[in-house]
């Protein structure tokens, strides 16, 4: 029961992550199945393991291949297509999480800048307070975008560990 339950937990985790970030949970189930598979799996095997129809799995795999979460493999002498997960959790995070967060950060910036433009010519105390609040939020949002871009562009764990160590040492001061 241990292996089966461990697989279920991983599949449920990826399905939940997919749901949280606005993707179909099937993408998470498929990724979880392939992430744990020792060998590439056929469309039929994936459908059987996930319990979804061939057509749903096929559509999901096309999308997942397009965004880099799975790779299609052809075996010599076999007409079937086989799939494997990229095995890089970074790719999953980028597709399922970072892209959604970046979209929100960029939308936030657009809306804050629009609101700031609306205050042009306003000189009341309330307008100054609102302007200062928006300008603060714009600066924070710009920092969040820089940090997110750094995470997206750097997959070297050593670089990220050094950054984290630097940030943690600053906290202690």
CATH code, residues 2-85: 1.10.10.10
Residues 6 or more apart in contact with residue 101 via CB below 8 angstroms = 148
* pLDDT of the residue at 110: 92
Residues 6 or more apart in contact with residue 85 via CB below 8 angstroms = 31, 34, 35, 37, 69, 70
E runs forming strands in 17-165? 41-42, 70-74, 81-85
Tell me the mean pLDDT in the region 30-50: 92
Single out the residue of 87, 99, 104, 85 nearest to residue 151, CA to CA. 99
Quick one: pLDDT band at residue 82, thresholds 50, 70, 90? very high
- Tell me the per-residue pLDDT of 93-151, one tens digit each, with 9 for 90 and over: 666 667 778 888 899 999 999 998 999 999 999 989 999 999 999 999 999 899 888 87
CA neighbours closer than 13 Å in the CB half-sphere of residue 104 = 9
User: pLDDT: is 79 or 95 the higher one?
Assistant: 79
User: pLDDT: is 83 or 90 the higher one?
Assistant: 83
pLDDT at 172 over 70: no
Phi, psi of 139 (to 5 degrees): -60, -45
Contact (Cβ atoms closer than 8 angstroms) between residue 95 and residue 67: yes
């Amino acid at each position: 029961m241990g292996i089966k339950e461990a697989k279920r937990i991983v599949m449920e985790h990826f399905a939940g992550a997919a749901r949280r970030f606005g993707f179909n949970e099937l993408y998470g189930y498929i990724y979880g199945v392939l992430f744990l598979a020792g060998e590439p799996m056929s469309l039929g095997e994936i459908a059987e393991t996930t319990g979804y129809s061939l057509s749903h799995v096929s559509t999901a795999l096309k999308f997942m291949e397009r965004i880099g979460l799975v790779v299609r493999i052809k075996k010599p002498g076999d007409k079937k297509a086989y799939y494997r997960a990229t095995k890089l959790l970074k790719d999953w995070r980028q597709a399922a999480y970072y892209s959604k967060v970046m979209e929100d950060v960029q939308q936030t910036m657009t809306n804050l800048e629009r609101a700031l433009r609306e205050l042009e010519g306003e000189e009341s105390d309330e307008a100054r307070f609102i302007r200062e609040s928006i300008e603060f939020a714009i600066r924070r949002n710009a920092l969040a975008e820089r940090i997110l871009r750094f995470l997206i562009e750097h997959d070297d764990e050593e670089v990220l560990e050094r950054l984290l160590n630097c940030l943690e040492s600053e906290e202690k001061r």
